[in-house]
Chain A
Amino acid sequence: MTSIQKPPVRHPSLQSNALGLTRRDYEGAMSTLCAGCGHDSVTAAIVQAFFELDIPPHRAAKMSGIGCSSKTTAYFMRQSHGFNSVHGRMPSVASGANAANRDLIYIGISGDGDSLSIGLGQLCHAIRRNVDMLYVLENNGVYGLTKGQFSASADVGSKSKRGEPNVQKPIDPVLLALSLGATFVARGFSGDKARLVPMLKAGLTHKGFAIIDVISPCVTFNDHEGSTKSYRFTRENYHELAAVDFVPLQREITAATEAGTSVSVTMHDGSIVRFREVGSEYDPTDRDAAYAHVRTHQERGEIVTGLLYIDEQSSDMHDIAHTVERPLVELPYESLCPGREALEKLMDEYR
């Protein structure tokens, strides 16, 4: 909580985007999270990403479940659509919304509790359906709202605030997503916006289910010595694999290719994701290699970050279901629901 609302004043040299909006036009209500929460930083990165992509706020839909992370949809883009669902059920609600209106840009915000415990099954099936959305998993390794119990993503040996080590094996959302066939898998850190923002932009542009696991420290219950999800531990054990530059289609590509740039992937809309500082041994379009790489580093206690895997040739939920191009919500009622006669005619075909 803060004592005041954010004053409606801005810096005279604050930049505008193609829509004439400033970053401040993408903000939402004041955060009620703890001061220093990683989630607030992720929120700011999301604001920046939407601002830089020139997305009109009213063309986006913010989906969430329950938890500290799920509260944050209130803290950005106050003019967007949104749905705050039952705990862990956001993927289903997002699938439904996307089925009805494929023209909106969907962003789901979830946490390690919402996604990896109560909503694990929901997450798995949304990945399988390849719902066209960006799924941000704000991962802090604890249940913050219930005062700091270990969550399903807590590492073995990581200590609670009172000094108890965790003994259960964690679920790694990156490995989970890779094994389930996710078409865009990345990991970021709330304390590194310079890398997180391009990743979010690529994820928003990706056609299909894009999941970004964001290490987002819980400053109240999991930022102490012995924690493996603290600001300090994450910075010290950060192994950046694949930082990306996001080059939107609209802008002319004039920048020279930086040394070390070995791979670039063209997104479905023609935008380009460039991988920086990727060794020749790494291919971000090779799922098995990505899995092996993350696994190897995990064994050494290193946190691999970056855009780890991308498949731009995939079919999303609408392709699989052969739905019409036009969003269902825009179809005239008569064609969406052709009536009893049409139904009986259809039934007759199967008799």
Chain B
Amino acid sequence: MPTDVSNPQYYHKVVDCQWACPAHTNVPEYIRLIAQGRYTESYLLNRESNVFPGILGRTCDRPCEPACRRGRVDGKPVAICRLKRVAADLRDDIHEFLPAIPAQKNGKRVALVGAGPASLTVANDLMPLGYEVVIYEKHQRAGGLMRVNIPSFRLPAEVLDEETQIILDMGVDIRYETPVTSMAALLSDGYDAVFVGSGAPKGKELELPGRHETDQVFIGIEWLANVHFGHVDRIGERVLIIGVGNTAMDCCRTSRRLGGKDIKVIARRSRPYFKASPWELEDAEEEGVQIVENHSPKRFVLEKGKLVGMEMDRLRWVEQNGKQKSEILETVLLPCDSVILAIGQENSFPWIERDTGVGFDDENMPIVDKKTFASTRAGVFFGGDAAWGPENIIWAVEHGHQAAISIHNHCMGIPLDERPAYGMNLVSAKVGMHSWSYSNDYSPAPRMKMTHAELTKRFSKLSVEVELGFTLEQTVAEVERCLNCDIETHFTSNLCIECDACVDVCPVSCLTIAPDGPEPDLRTRLSAPALNLTQDVYVSAALPQTKRVMVKDEDVCLHCGLCAERCPTAAWDMRQFDLLVPYAGRRLPIATLPSGHVDRPVSAA
């Protein structure tokens, strides 16, 4: 069966970064805009899908980078995240390019609980449609976890203020220091819809002997919030952090700035199983934090009421029946003055009465539809960490977009599962005989390394930003590493004369003309066997002269355009793919290729 490229998802999947991004940010295009010095446009393109480019350019969990094709080509993905920051740092004022907010409202009122990334995204999507949006926030400022849990040495307050304010300035009625204490009361206020984006605010406890006999054991996210509000400004010299996720990384690095000298992060397992992103681990180790593997906390040790250490079991992991099991090697005492628990977060909804119609499951989690984000009560939606527990900012943003679509459908009387469709534009990138509208040459440059502030400088003040951002030189080199995966290799089978030029010129042997067959068999009969099953193979319709098929292994295609340059009939063309992502209330121009289309060659022979 020939591959159906008229479905936008086929070419979407080829753009690995965009496919992996929960919000489907058009990464290659924004990198090209940076390359052209069009920072404002790049920022706006980012903002359309991920809403907080400045914040995410510093703090994103980067699902795009492990997916990046460049990683499969030379081992290191493009520094996508930090390029996003370049656009945010160098852009001009964007206010005139923001959507207009109608003076005439549509008469629908929506309440959002919590002013974190999920709620702010809902507000961002609904305000331009004429909704009245009220946000209830328990703190004095907007941002939620982005403000109180992410240390300012990673995310400066000005960046956060600016990007949250852009949304609030759309006319959002935000009520600070107003925690919602009753869902029933909120529902009785007559809102057309309610969105719960209150996060997963409860840090997990570790009930071990001695836990409550000292005041030197803290819960990670609470402690970080207290540091943020200035309630805490010092910590003991010897600190143990229990847990090895990204919160643990923020805790250990913050401790380092509050007087901690000997800081150990304690992990039950070995490095490959750590939850923290590799780059966050690296940054912590650069600051002298020690990561201790294979240790399991046993009890807090106190002397005369003072915490002096923790007893730990040193473990060895062995595989048994395909499962990892631990064996205790010995019990050791790790001396310490303070302990921070960073072993996870939980949702907590003491304020939602169980008789409001909002259903909860056995584990006290709200029952939320995976696609529509609707709870079991019509008109009440969940998103962000509040929906299914801790994720990250970019997921919260995507939840916000989807919830906004649902809220709009709900308010307009459209069934929730009638989701607007994805579309695409596909436009030839050819601008001359051998020239393209993108930089098609392959740059062998290695991934640029982020420069960090000097250690003495960064420890002088809590808010000194560690990452200095890319220099212009680094930016120029890094943008050229992008392979432009959105410039798709588009094939028109009826134009092919089977001259083999494309097959012969492809530097990565990804093209083959072969007799058709089932895909598993075809994969073994290619110029180079297509062994990466996570990557698709494209199969054309039967070719005119021999009825064989053109097969393309998408795995390591460099999108260099040589196949199209060597094609005498323009059967191969490089076409810029633009995924049209649906948002609430925005009708898309559905510009897909009709099935069975016939393309004309560029030059009529």
Interface residues of A (CB under 8 A from B): 1-15, 23-24, 31, 34-38, 40-41, 43-44, 190-191, 193, 217, 219, 223, 231-232, 235
In the complex, B556 has a CB within 8 A of chain A: yes
Cβ B504 vs Cβ A231 within 8 A: no
Per DSSP, are chain B's interface residues mostly helix, strand or loop, or mixed? loop
- Given the known A-B contacts A3-B440, A9-B508, A9-B558, are A191 and B529 also in contact in the complex, defined by CB atoms under 8 Å? no
Per DSSP, are chain A's interface residues mostly helix, strand or loop, or mixed? loop
B511 to chain A, nearest CB (A): 11
Cβ B444 vs Cβ A2 within 8 A: no
In the complex, what distance in Å separates the CA atom of A296 from the CA atom of B366?
84
* Shortest Cβ-Cβ A-B pairs, 7 listed: A36-B568, A7-B442, A44-B504, A11-B528, A3-B434, A4-B441, A36-B499
Residues of B within 8 A of A31 (CB): 505, 566
* Interface 0/1 of B557-601, CB less than 8 Å to A: 010111001111100000000000000000000000000000000
In the complex, what distance in Å separates the CA atom of A2 from the CA atom of B73?
22
In the complex, B293 has a CB within 8 A of chain A: no
In the complex, B545 has a CB within 8 A of chain A: yes
- Given the known A-B contacts A35-B566, A35-B567, A36-B567, are A10 and B497 also in contact in the complex, defined by CB atoms under 8 Å? no
In the complex, what distance in Å separates the CA atom of A35 from the CA atom of B433?
11
A38 nearest in chain B by CB position = B499
A43 to chain B, nearest CB (A): 7
- Given the known A-B contacts A3-B434, A4-B440, A13-B531, are A231 and B560 also in contact in the complex, defined by CB atoms under 8 Å? no
- Given the known A-B contacts A13-B528, A231-B499, A235-B546, are A3 and B436 also in contact in the complex, defined by CB atoms under 8 Å? yes
Residues of A within 8 A of B546 (CB): 235
A217 nearest in chain B by CB position = B499
A236 to chain B, nearest CB (A): 8
A38 to chain B, nearest CB (A): 7
B556 nearest in chain A by CB position = A11
Residue of A4, A13, A15, A38 near B560 (CB, 8 A) is A4
In the complex, B465 has a CB within 8 A of chain A: no
Residues of B within 8 A of A44 (CB): 500, 503-504
Residues of B within 8 A of A36 (CB): 497, 499, 501, 566-569
Cβ B545 vs Cβ A235 within 8 A: yes
In the complex, what distance in Å separates the CA atom of A328 from the CA atom of B569?
50
Give me 15 A-to-B residue pairs in the complex whose CB atoms sit less than 8 angstroms apart, sorted by A's number: A3-B434, A3-B561, A4-B442, A4-B562, A7-B442, A9-B558, A10-B508, A11-B527, A11-B528, A35-B565, A36-B501, A36-B566, A37-B501, A190-B499, A231-B497
**Tally of B interface residues using CB under 8 Å:** 42
A43 nearest in chain B by CB position = B504
Cβ B504 vs Cβ A8 within 8 A: no
B530 nearest in chain A by CB position = A13
Residues of A within 8 A of B531 (CB): 12-13
In the complex, what distance in Å separates the CA atom of A12 from the CA atom of B74?
10
B503 nearest in chain A by CB position = A44
Residues of A within 8 A of B498 (CB): 191, 231, 235
- Given the known A-B contacts A1-B434, A191-B498, are A7 and B567 also in contact in the complex, defined by CB atoms under 8 Å? no
Residues of A within 8 A of B435 (CB): 3
Residues of A within 8 A of B527 (CB): 11
Residue of B72, B441, B444, B501 near A41 (CB, 8 A) is B501
Residues of B within 8 A of A1 (CB): 434
Residues of B within 8 A of A10 (CB): 507-509
Candidate in A4, A11, A231 with the most chain B CB atoms within 10 angstroms: A11
Residues of B within 8 A of A34 (CB): 568
Interface residues of B (CB under 8 A from A): 72-74, 434-436, 440-442, 444, 497-501, 503-505, 507-510, 527-532, 545-546, 553, 555-556, 558, 560-562, 565-569
Number of residue pairs A-B, CB distance < 8 angstroms: 115
Residues of B within 8 A of A41 (CB): 499-501, 504
A303 to chain B, nearest CB (A): 15
In the complex, what distance in Å separates the CA atom of A36 from the CA atom of B508?
19
Residues of A within 8 A of B441 (CB): 3-5, 7
A199 to chain B, nearest CB (A): 16
B15 to chain A, nearest CB (A): 19
Cβ B434 vs Cβ A9 within 8 A: no
- Given the known A-B contacts A2-B434, A3-B434, A4-B562, are A40 and B556 also in contact in the complex, defined by CB atoms under 8 Å? no
Residues of B within 8 A of A5 (CB): 441
Cβ B440 vs Cβ A40 within 8 A: no
Residues of A within 8 A of B434 (CB): 1-3
Cβ B545 vs Cβ A2 within 8 A: no
A189 to chain B, nearest CB (A): 11
B533 to chain A, nearest CB (A): 12
A282 to chain B, nearest CB (A): 25
Residue of B528, B555, B561 near A15 (CB, 8 A) is B528
In the complex, what distance in Å separates the CA atom of A191 from the CA atom of B500?
7
Cβ A6 vs Cβ B505 within 8 A: yes
B378 to chain A, nearest CB (A): 52
- Given the known A-B contacts A4-B560, A7-B558, A10-B509, are A191 and B499 also in contact in the complex, defined by CB atoms under 8 Å? yes
B432 to chain A, nearest CB (A): 9
A23 to chain B, nearest CB (A): 8
In the complex, what distance in Å separates the CA atom of A125 from the CA atom of B531?
51
Residues of A within 8 A of B558 (CB): 7, 9
Residues of A within 8 A of B505 (CB): 2, 6, 31, 40
- Given the known A-B contacts A13-B531, A36-B499, A191-B500, are A232 and B545 also in contact in the complex, defined by CB atoms under 8 Å? yes
Residues of A within 8 A of B73 (CB): 9
In the complex, what distance in Å separates the CA atom of A127 from the CA atom of B508?
39
Residues of A within 8 A of B561 (CB): 3
Cβ B508 vs Cβ A2 within 8 A: no
Cβ A2 vs Cβ B562 within 8 A: yes
In the complex, what distance in Å separates the CA atom of A238 from the CA atom of B533?
38
A10 to chain B, nearest CB (A): 6
In the complex, what distance in Å separates the CA atom of A6 from the CA atom of B504?
11
Residues of A within 8 A of B567 (CB): 35-36
Candidate in B72, B507, B532, B567 with the most chain A CB atoms within 10 angstroms: B507
B531 nearest in chain A by CB position = A13
In the complex, what distance in Å separates the CA atom of A223 from the CA atom of B558?
30
Cβ A9 vs Cβ B556 within 8 A: yes
Residue of B565, B568, B569 near A2 (CB, 8 A) is B565
